[in-house]
A = this chain, B = another copy of it.
Amino acid sequence: MQKNIQVCLTPALISLYDLSNSIVVVIDIFRATSSICYGIENGAEAIIPVATVDECRNYGRGCLLAAERDGKVVEGFDFGNSPFSYTAEKVAGKTIVLTTTNGTHAINESKKTAYQVIIGSFLNLDAVCDYLKAAQKDVVLLCAGWKNKFNLEDTLFAGAVVHQLKGEDYFLDDSSTAAEDLYLLAKDDLKAYTGKTSHSERLKNLGIEKDIEFCLNVNTTQSIPVLKGDKLVRLG
């Protein structure tokens, strides 16, 4: 049976999509979903995405509290969304409460109606694609973007997924076609291509170039974070 792949280029458009029979892959490459994939791979028990800094602050003791706004750790918090804060030594066995500028917003927008919400990044690209192929569901690739606007790096990852899935009897919408073509332009040097983005320039100014490089590693993790209730946990 033919299934659909659609790329939703920003969370501001998610209400246009019927998610009831879709697996939604939330994508925030720089850096929330890369860090979530890395943290779950490294044994974090759960990551709880929340919308606001206050909600994060009010969470019970025993959790690690992570808050990022405009690329910086919010004052008074254990850490933000740098992947280097999500090593096994820091997160194994822990529950992390996380709020970010774009990524957690996208997760919360999609969870209202989706069949299932999973988390994707270049780190777990093949794992995500293999899971989607086996699941035989419609797919919505939800780019977190930047403050509800389009960004390149999330779209490139969406294109990488489209590229792996398109041989499998999916119908592609226009944004899937565009995302795949952009990915094919970029794939041989993701770092150079994403260096063209306005967001990358902003991240460089924050002195987090090592984070950016880390988030462009492909297939370094195997686990897929999946939303169960309000928590992201390891699938399967």
Contacts and interface: CB of A to CB of B under 8 A. Distances in A.
What's the number of copies of this chain in the assembled complex?
A: 2
A149 to B, nearest CB: 6
B149 A13 contact: yes
Interface in A131-189: 146-152, 155, 171-175, 177-178, 181-182, 185
A9 to B, nearest CB: 6
Contacts of A173: 149-150, 198
Interface string A7-40: 1011011001000000000000000000000000
Given A149-B13, A149-B16, A150-B9, A185 B174 contact: no
Tier of interface size on chain A: 20 to 34
Contact of A182 (B10, B150, B178, B196): B178
A197 interface: yes
Contacts of A151: 174
Nearest to A155: B178
Nearest to A172: B198
A12 B174 CA distance: 16
Interface of A: 7, 9-10, 12-13, 16, 146-152, 155, 171-175, 177-178, 181-182, 185, 196-199
Nearest to A194: B174
29 contacts: A9-B9, A9-B150, A10-B13, A12-B13, A12-B16, A13-B149, A16-B147, A16-B148, A16-B149, A146-B174, A149-B173, A149-B174, A150-B173, A150-B174, A150-B175, A150-B178, A152-B174, A152-B177, A152-B178, A155-B178, A173-B198, A174-B197, A174-B198, A174-B199, A177-B196, A177-B197, A178-B178, A178-B182, A185-B185
